[in-house]
Amino acid sequence: KEVEVPNIINNTKPAWTIPPAELKDEDYKNFYRELYPTTFDEPLFHIHLNVDFPFNLTGILYFPKLKNNIEVQRNKINLYSNQVFITDNVENIVPEFLTLLHGVIDSPDIPLNVSRSYLQSDSNVKKISNHITKKVADKLAEMFKKDREDFEKKFEDIKVFVEYGMLSDDKFYDKAEKFALYKNTAGKTYTFEELQKQLKPAQTDKDDKLVVLYANDADEQHSAIETAQDKGYEVLIMDSPLTPHYISKLEQKHDKVSFARVDADTIDNLIKKEDALPSKLSDEEKEKLKPVVEKVVDKEKYQVTFENLSEKDQPMLVTQAEFVRRMKEQQMMGGGGMMGAFPEMYNLVVNANHPVINTILKEKDEGKQAEMTQQAADLALLAKGLLKGENLSRFIKRSVTMIQEPQKN
């Protein structure tokens, strides 16, 4: 017996048309897999949109695990009008940062086949855009209040989204500031309000400005982080691709707060206190030693400066000014530009109070003096990851020779 079965090629009752009360978590996950069959990661959570006044809007938006490449995340929201697919490009309908979400929105109130400028000025589009932004912010705030521990686990996967939203939408910023999180090197997280209270006693400088130290690579900047922690300071991990722009936004919003990468300068310069250390070298001794140091480094790339640091600090260290590095990173993220073409410039900081520096100064043999200076400079470059190629090979050979010399004697 032959039976004809209708060949249904689309879902006649998709999940977004069903009231939220009739759907379970598994239904939402199944619908996500229906939308993105080649995606293996489960969505972190979802938002069900269901409005019939003053405009009509239904849909389901999902928070995926966001990767650092923002462009890869775009155009994953499908726009429908009464269940008829229109487009997967909704950048003129929802705020730019919301295009990082995945899912479906369906509204007969969005005008179709019109110019971008018309869409941006249409009252219904503005209302729909503001409503979606509010729903997203409210959902995140609710999750934070309901189960902060779970929210902290998910935040790493949505951090880029939250930062992008705070950068591009001031209304979202005002809501998100209460749940945006900042993690330190020990894994403890703070809201910005909590962060200010935690850091203020120790990290307020002599001008009454709170200095927030951060690192974008805990391994690469380990030495600087350790130095900061030895002084009782905390260091945040801020490693998203939006960090340079994001911290500038935070500084604009908060008076007397500045961010500094932990290796941007000596710790004592990053957080200047009243009790600056005196120098064990006179100005004449510094002038005498400066050309000795300049001979062992590339003067086009490194500017030699002297700082009065603790004896426990390194004899020499390499820093790069925060504003120069941040501007360069911002320009490079924007596609190059003038700053992106600038050569890398660093400061080679000589610790005027370190015993090794005093020993180098007093060495009469110019050959030995140059050798010790080269070794101290190479150690600073090595710690910064700037000693490479032939210079690194030379440093290793010289270090091995120094180890073997006591055995010969």
Question: 117-168, pLDDT tens digit by residue?
Answer: 555 667 778 888 889 999 999 999 999 999 999 999 999 989 999 999 999 9
Q: 373 near 292, Cβ under 8 Å?
A: yes
Structure tokens at 241: 């691709």
In the numeric block, the tokens 């120069």 are attached to 324
Alpha helices in 283-365 (DSSP H): 283-294, 322-333, 337-340, 355-362
Instruction: Provide the percentage of residues in the chain whose pLDDT is more than 70.
Output: 88
pTM: 0.80
- Distance separating alpha carbons of residues 141 and 398, to the nearest angstrom: 58
> Of 188, 167, 140, nearest to 245 (Cα)?
167
- The tokens for 119 are 């869409």
Residue 134: which H helix or E strand, with range?
A: helix 123-146
Q: pLDDT at residue 111 above 60?
A: yes
Q: Is the pLDDT of residue 329 over 90?
A: no
Residue 374 has, within 13 A of its CA and on its CB side, a CA count of 15
Burial class, 97, CB count within 10 angstroms (exposed 0-12 / middle 13-18 / buried 19+):
buried
**Under 8 Å between Cβ of 88 and 95:** no
DSSP 299: T
Q: What is the largest CA-CA distance in the chain?
A: 108
